[in-house]
Structure 1
Amino acid sequence: MTASLGNAARPFSPAALTDLVPAGTRLLALGEPTHGAEEFLDLRNELLRHLVTAHGYRSIAVESDCQAALTLDAYAGGAGGSAGSDGSDGSDGELDTVVRAGFSHGFGAYAGNRELVRWVREFNAGVAAGERVRIYGADGPLEYTGAAAPGPALLRLRAFLAARLPSELLPTEAELLRLHGPGARWTEPAAALDPARSVGRTEDAGRLRLLADELGTLLAAHRPQFQHEEDALWRAELDARTAAGLLRYHAATADPGPGRFDSLMRQRDLMIADNLEAILRREARRGPILAFAHNRHLQREAGRLTLAGRRLHWWSAGSLLASRLPDGYAFLATTFGTRLPDDHPAPDTLEGLLSTLPGPRTVLDPARLAAVVKEWGWVKERVPADHTYFGLDPAELERVDGVLFVREIARQQGLFGGTAD
């Protein structure tokens, strides 16, 4: 270990991380290099507790279905009333049920996510309503096999407007149902790989997309009329974003062209960015927010991924947010050395270099680390052993506000670890 590398490093503590966060940050993004590693969920939870108790943060947004996460927030006491005011007893069994329903992508199976919800509920039970921590989902209702049907969000949006505006301004519920048809035709798993199996570019889908735009425009145009119904308006705007985003995503799914997967990645990150920006507006009077998602979603540079031999390129949610919030967005990237038992970084990679540092968890000043990398000139980006993670790009360190290195992580199970459950 050289002295210059040591000068860039500090043992991990939440305070060591927040010392690197620029003043005026409104959206603090914490990335992870892989999903399902409990080590990064634990770090997130430690950081959130510190941000809440020492820095006035009152919300966290996670990479999970924005609609399903409403269940998490209600259980945790962030959606009105004290924790448990819905008559629930907060038992372990109920917590397990809520977490599995409230997280998408199978993330409800992880102990760190269960602990997040448990701690937020416990914290909220002891504070005034305005000080409660809210839990949000930043992702769209998307899974690896496809996207949800847009109908439920669209019908809820119409019902909200129908209760408050003249009926002649709105399409009928019957028309929306007719154009939408059975939900199963939108969620057809085969459409993920075969655009011909998607209904996203049918005549009915095109008409539905136009009506969704009209409903969203009505909501925006009449917003002053609804602004005193804060919670109901928040849900209506969430439904408007969700319906529009899903219809765009399904249209991209039906695209037979060579840029299909680039478009799908672009649409997803746009949904994440729009959701996070909306959360930021809602939380503006209560403090900054912590966002937690994959490094690839939150990084300031464009996203890139090789899929089936094709190099994909799209603007990440982080790059979109950094352009919208030039002085309010900060990004903390995480990475790891060894994934047990035998996935070790090569010595000439950034992770190999960081593995020479003492201690299990290290916080690094990215400017100093970038200077070391530039001076040495031989540090490369890590080539993953499989599809389940990405290394940090040494060339992009100057776009990061802080780096957190974990020496060892356990191999995850299932999809994200490449092994069977």
Structure 2
Amino acid sequence: MERMRWIWMVLLTGWLVSCSSKEDTLEEMEQETGFLSQAVHPLRTTQDLDLLLNEIGNSQYVLLGEASHGTSEFYTWRADISKRLIQEKGFNLIAVEGDWPAAYSLNQYIQGRQGGTAQQALQAFRRWPTWMWANQEVAGFSEWLRQHNQTLTQNQRVGFYGMDVYSLWESLEEVRAYMEAADPAIAQLAREAQACLAPYNQDEQRYAQATDQGISCAPPLQRLLEAVQAHRARQPANHEAAFNAEQNALAAVNAERYYYQMLRSNVTSWNLRDRHMQETVNRLVAQRGPGAKIIVWAHNTHVGDARYTDMVNSGTVNIGQLLREQHAQKGVYLVGFGSYEGTVVAATSWGAATRTMTVPPAQAGSWEALLHRHSAENKLLLMRELQNSQEVLKPRGHRAIGVTYNPSSERGNYVPTVLPRRYDAFLFIDRTTALSPL
């Protein structure tokens, strides 16, 4: 009997200790995440985006990020936000982190100027990693855009464009093809630039290495750009084919500059790339004219203001920072994305085969871990609702997954970030799933 009483006392003590530990854990959790509570809103359906749309207000520029290039929910939520911005706030331009020629081909389908299906139009994205844009999620959004545009006049339709800087050879070929009929003398300048680049067989690394030997194709590319600019100046202001040719010529010039810097300075090449994105956005808005409102889709590392990360220490800038600095009076709204765990499409090395990988739970102390600890559910954070406490303004790790990824070596994937300054709003998807490549 005495032995049984002793056993029950041990069990009761253990139960009391367990309850006490749970209370302590809940108390600790409230202390650690309580400062988030007033800014956290549920994110279950597209109706929950009402708060975000109200916050965006009359902003002319809305930038939508992603924490990886291979997560389905980042694409689908960006599409849902974009649909509402188009329908309710009159946004009429979309610029994405993709090549101008490939995106322009998709734009032709979205505008109703070519037949087929969105999946067929997306085959224009042939540069690795093709899954960034040639995927089921983008195909579905493209079909929606095409159907939406069919209800509008030609000059009201939503355009879809690429703003990246990689398309040196592709953009050159587009300029040559257009100028063969429009201005054969400029087509000859394009062929001369192509001849300069021909020995490198569309291999950017080979060209970059050749510049170490004093070789440069910058002069013929610059001559081509100036001739194309003069050609466009002679056309009506809304001449889209001439604008397309000029943008391709600009992309080719900046691509050559990027590849020249690629092996020399990571910071210089990065800044050149994001300044090209900024310039492309500005050119699209100017070309569209009065009433232009633009949505940008790019990785968080481009969208989130670089001044509130460790990027600022090296002098690295990004499009989110640049547009905020340039167009603050017109309204620039930055939306970041993140997740706690799930799956993602990526590759183990540059150019390698596509794989679906497991994204492990976020590292302790990161923003993602903090948001999961607050509640293991999807949520929307509105940054203006966060108090300016020391906890809010403390830099914490913020996960960024690129096209190459190693889940077993996560430490280098976290960017020290002051989240409420880097973004205006943040969509947190607690558990994500991999993108669906075509």
1:380 aligns to 2:392 (yes or no): no
Relative to the length of structure 1, the TM-score reads: 0.77
CA 1:47–1:215 in 2, change beyond 3 Å: closer, same or farther?
same
Counterpart position of 1:331? 334
C-alpha contact 1:15 1:50 (8 A) present in aligned 2: no
Counterpart position of 1:114? 139
CA 1:8–1:73 in 2, change beyond 3 Å: closer, same or farther?
same
C-alpha contact 2:339 2:428 (8 A) present in aligned 1: yes
Q: 1:346-369, CA deviations, whole angstroms, 9 ceiling, x for partnerless residues?
A: 332211111134463211122344
Counterpart position of 1:74? 108
CA 1:179–1:58 in 2, change beyond 3 Å: closer, same or farther?
closer
Counterpart position of 2:39? 8
Counterpart position of 1:155? 176
- Give 2:285's aligned amino acid: L
CA 1:237–1:180 in 2, change beyond 3 Å: closer, same or farther?
closer
CA 1:316–1:187 in 2, change beyond 3 Å: closer, same or farther?
farther
CA 1:242–1:70 in 2, change beyond 3 Å: closer, same or farther?
same
Match of 1:277 among 282, 304, 320: 282
Instruction: Output the aligned Cα RMSD.
Output: 3.5
C-alpha contact 1:70 1:136 (8 A) present in aligned 2: yes
Task: Name the SS for the 2:163 alignment partner.
Answer: strand
1:362 aligns to 2:379 (yes or no): yes
Counterpart position of 2:295? 290
Task: Name the SS for the 1:120 alignment partner.
Answer: helix
Counterpart position of 2:427? 404
Counterpart position of 2:318? 316
Match of 1:42 among 76, 85, 88: 76
Counterpart position of 1:214? 226
C-alpha contact 2:164 2:273 (8 A) present in aligned 1: yes
Distance, in Å, in 1 between the alignment partners of 2:342 and 2:434 is: 6
Relative to the length of structure 2, the TM-score reads: 0.74
Distance, in Å, in 2 between the alignment partners of 1:278 and 1:209 is: 20
- Give 2:67's aligned amino acid: P
Distance, in Å, in 2 between the alignment partners of 1:42 and 1:327 is: 30
Distance, in Å, in 1 between the alignment partners of 2:152 and 2:269 is: 41
Shift of 1:334: 1.0
Q: How does 1:136-151 map to 2 (within 5 A)?
A: 136-142=161-167, 147-148=168-169, 151=172
**Higher alpha-carbon Rg:** 2
CA 1:351–1:176 in 2, change beyond 3 Å: closer, same or farther?
closer
Match of 2:272 among 257, 267, 270: 267
Uncovered stretches (5+) of structure 1, i.e. residues with no partner: 164-170, 415-420
C-alpha contact 1:101 1:108 (8 A) present in aligned 2: no
Task: Name the SS for the 1:68 alignment partner.
Answer: helix
C-alpha contact 1:57 1:289 (8 A) present in aligned 2: yes
Q: How does 1:11-26 map to 2 (within 5 A)?
A: 11-12=42-43, 13-21=48-56, 23-26=57-60
Task: Name the SS for the 2:69 alignment partner.
Answer: coil
Task: Name the SS for the 1:126 alignment partner.
Answer: coil
Counterpart position of 2:119? 96
Q: Which has the higher helix share?
A: 2
Shift of 1:319: 1.9
C-alpha contact 1:337 1:355 (8 A) present in aligned 2: yes
Shift of 1:209: 3.5
Task: Name the SS for the 1:19 alignment partner.
Answer: helix
1:181 aligns to 2:195 (yes or no): yes
